[in-house]
Structure 1
Amino acid sequence: MRENTTLTTWREGGQTIGAWLSIGNAYTAESMAGMGFDWLCVDLQHGMLSYDDLKYMLPAISTRESIPIVRVPWNEPYEIMKALDAGAYGVIVPMVNNREEALQAVAACRYPPDGGRSFGPIRAAMYGGRGYASEANSQIACIAMVETAEALDNLEDIATTPGLDAVYIGPSDLAYAIGLNGP
């Protein structure tokens, strides 16, 4: 399994620059990966992308140094595991409102004993290489998306959740939630 350089940079206190993909095309994904972004996020929550798009886009991103991340549709273990099984090196999990929901997301990202992710004959292991299952827990980024008033009130609890690697602020939904009427 290759090193998740984005996660390494965050753990060292550094910053990264990423971009979002909403065009379901492997060539576009590979082209964007060649532009020098640290990470690229394939957006399955909004837009018109599907799992069928994802399974071609993630390997295309992985031909370059960019780290493939997926924003999953919801904080649902099945959706998280499916994105990781397809080869994502991290997930952005929307609508995380409290520590319990953050722990649920972390558990879906980690193999036992650190979580409840199940293992099967998955694509990630095929192109992640030997050692994928033993290295994935330390290389997969679990990112909680904070975008509600409740989540804002619980931000410290969410951010200090064991196993959570980052918090991503959802500016549009959060603006609506706190009465700023959107972007």
Structure 2
Amino acid sequence: MRPNRLRVLLAEGKTAVNGWLHIPSSWSAEVMAHAGWDSVTIDLQHGLTDYETAVTMLQAIATTDTVPLARSTWNDPAQIMRLLDAGAYGIICPMINTRAEAEAFVGACRYPPMGYRSLGPTRARVYAGADYAQHANETLLTLAMIETQEALNNLSEILATPGLDGIFVGPGDLGLSLTGQMGMDMSDPTLAAALAQIAEVTRANGRIAGIWVPTAARGQQMQQLGYQFITVSADSRLLNAATQEIIQEMKSQ
């Protein structure tokens, strides 16, 4: 089976930089994958992509060594299994609040006896190799999103879930849950304290600590806290920022 370079990188204690794909296009996915990210994640929850388009995006990403991941729309076993069958090398699952929810998520990603994933890796065996089914359980990554006060309260129990590789913080929803405020002010004292706590507890449990950040500078701050899987911005946000910069420069004369 094709190795999961992301898993190897994280096991070595290095920081992985992950790209985020909101745009439903195989071309933009291919461009992002060629940019040098360690991995890229197709976002089916808040991105504009459906399953069929996600398959074409996975095919485009496969033209590079960048590791393909996907964020499911919810803790939906049927969709999670289809994304894995399509060749995603890991799943980020939103709104995991309890160990029971984490167990259901992990179970959908693992073949028996570790889980209840159905056998039928249609495209995955083409992308990964004919021995995919024999090695998928130890190769694919499972990251549960921590986004609420309830999840924070249950963090240690969630991290104790067998087969769970780590967590991924959604700072927007977590900040909303903790403070009642919209936006993503990661300098807010309440949110900042929670982010530090999550990183400390996750690393103490030997799990991967991941997070989304809006800028590279914020990502470096999170790296100092112990986060080692860091997603910076998203393709649509990067496109918008670059476009605005060019327009402002052209109109400044």
Q: Within the alignment, does 1:111 sit opposite 2:107 as a pair?
A: no
Partner of 1:61: 61
Partner of 1:70: 70
- Structure 2, unmatched stretches of 5+, are 185-253
Moved over 6 A (4+): none
Q: 1:126: how far off?
A: 2.2
Q: Within the alignment, does 1:152 sit opposite 2:183 as a pair?
A: no
Taking the TM superposition and a 5 Å limit, the aligned residue runs for 1:1-183 are: 1-120=1-120, 122-182=122-182, 183=184
Q: 1:47: how far off?
A: 2.6
- Spell out, residue by residue over 1:158-181, the C-alpha distance to the aligned partner (whole angstroms, 9 max, x if none): 123211111000110111101151
- Spell out, residue by residue over 1:56-102, the C-alpha distance to the aligned partner (whole angstroms, 9 max, x if none): 00121121111100000001111110110111000000010011111
User: Aligned residue pairs: how many?
Assistant: 183
Equivalent residues of 2:81, 2:109 under 8 A apart: yes
- Structure 1, unmatched stretches of 5+, are none
Alignment partners' CA distance in 2, 1:173 and 1:147:
5
Of structures 1 and 2, the larger Rg is shown by 2
Alignment partners' CA distance in 1, 2:28 and 2:93:
24
Alignment partners' CA distance in 2, 1:63 and 1:135:
22
Alignment partners' CA distance in 2, 1:14 and 1:180:
34
Alignment partners' CA distance in 1, 2:107 and 2:39:
23
- Spell out, residue by residue over 1:99-147, the C-alpha distance to the aligned partner (whole angstroms, 9 max, x if none): 1111111110001111110112611112221100001111110110010
SS state at 1:144 partner = strand
Letter in 2 for 1:119: L
Alignment partners' CA distance in 1, 2:62 and 2:159:
28
* Identity between Structure 1 and Structure 2 (%): 46
Q: Which has the higher helix share?
A: 2
Alignment partners' CA distance in 2, 1:14 and 1:158:
23
SS state at 1:17 partner = strand
Alignment partners' CA distance in 2, 1:110 and 1:19:
25
